[in-house]
Copies of this chain bind each other. A is one copy, B any other.
Amino acid sequence: MGLVVIGVDLGGTNLRTALVSQNGAVADKVKEPTRASDGHAKVVQKLIESIKAQQVRALRSGNAVAAVGVGVPGVIHAHTGVVVKSPNFPDWNNLPLKKDLEASLALPVFIENDANAAALGEQWRGAGQGIKSMILLTLGTGVGGGIILDGRIWAGADGMAGEIGHMTIMPDGRRCGCGNTGCLEMYASSRGIVMTYQERSSLTAMITSEEIYQSARDGDVLSGDVLKDMGRLLGIGIANLINIFNPEMIVIGGGVKDAWPLFIESTRAEIRKRAFEYPATRTKIVPSMLGDDAGVIGAAALAFQKLNTVH
C-alpha cells in the first residue's frame, strides 16, 4: 500500500480532485462543474461525494488515503478551516468546511486559501522546487497572491495574508471592488489590461485580454504599449515585495502569463529602477509551471505538511 492524500481545488466554476503521492505524483485527476449557484449545502454534498469517489479509486490502486487538502477561493480562516467569505460562493458565510467534511469523511481535512495552496504547489513540484522563500502572483481576472517563507505558507494571524493584489500602487488610481483605489489588481489583471486598452482607444465594443495579446503579437502598437504598461505597474508591486521580503523567487501564474514575452521586460526594467540592487538581482522572476494542477498539488502538499510526512 502507498500513502496518498486527496488534493481538492474548489473553484467557482470547476471542482478538481486528484490523488497525490508523497513525491508529488498526481493520479486520477477529475474535473467536474462546481455549480456554486446550487447553494452551500449542495456544493458541500457534491464535494463529499467527489472525495469519497477518490477514496474508492485510491483503494482500487492499492493506496491508503491519509488526509484531504482543500483550496478554496476567498477569505479562509486556515487554522479553524472556516470559509469566512468567498466571492465565488456568495452564500457561504463562516461555513465550517473542515468540520463538515471531517464529520462525513472520517479523515483529517485541511483548508487553505486557493492562491496560498497554489503557491505551495509551485514550491513543491513546480517552478519553485528547491526554493524556500517564494511569492506566487496569480494574474487572472483579479490578482491573487500566495507567500511561502521557509517552505511554508505565510497565512497571517487569521489566515488572511497574501492579498498582494490589493497592494496600493496608485494612491489616486482606479477604484477596486475591495473599496480601495489603485490596487495592483486594477492594473496587472486581465480586467485591468482591458480597462487600460479601453481608456486609450476609441473602442467602445467589448474586447478580451486574449484579443489584446494577439493583436500585440500581430504588431498593433497600442496593444503592445498597453501590455508594456501593465508590465511596468506589475514591476512596482514586485519591487515592493522584493524590498519587503528579499525572497528567492517570484512566480507569475494565471491567464495573463500567456502574454509573458509582451510584458516581462517592462517588469524587469521597473524592478531594476525601484528595488535594492542585490535582492533585485538575486530574485528569480519566473512563470508558473503547474498550470491547472497547482491547486490540487498545493492542497495535497499542505495536507502532507500538516501530517508531517514530508517537508
> Which residues of A pack against B, CB within 8 Å?
75, 84, 132-133, 145, 147, 149, 154-164, 166-171, 178-181, 236, 239-241, 243-248, 273-276, 278-279, 282
Contact = CB atoms under 8 A, between A and B. Distances in A.
B278 A246 contact: no
Contacts of A282: 157-158
Given A156-B247, A166-B276, A180-B274, 15 more contacts: A75-B278, A147-B244, A149-B154, A156-B245, A156-B246, A157-B279, A160-B278, A161-B245, A162-B244, A164-B244, A166-B275, A168-B236, A168-B239, A180-B239, A180-B273
Contacts of A145: 244
A168 B169 contact: yes
Contact of A246 (B158, B248, B279): B158
Contact of A279 (B154, B160, B243, B273): B160
A6 to B, nearest CB: 27
Given A168-B239, A170-B171, A246 B157 contact: yes
Contact of A178 (B163, B166, B169, B276): B276
Given A157-B248, A157-B282, A274 B243 contact: no
A84 B154 CA distance: 28
7 contacts: A75-B276, A133-B156, A149-B149, A154-B245, A158-B278, A161-B244, A240-B240
Nearest to A179: B273
A243 B167 contact: yes
B163 A243 contact: yes
Contacts of A275: 166, 180
A273 B169 CA distance: 15
B133 A163 contact: no
Contact of A157 (B75, B162, B164, B247): B247
Contacts of A169: 168, 171
A126 to B, nearest CB: 18
A241 B274 CA distance: 18
Nearest to A156: B246
A244 B244 contact: yes
A278 B82 CA distance: 14
A55 to B, nearest CB: 34
Contacts of A132: 157
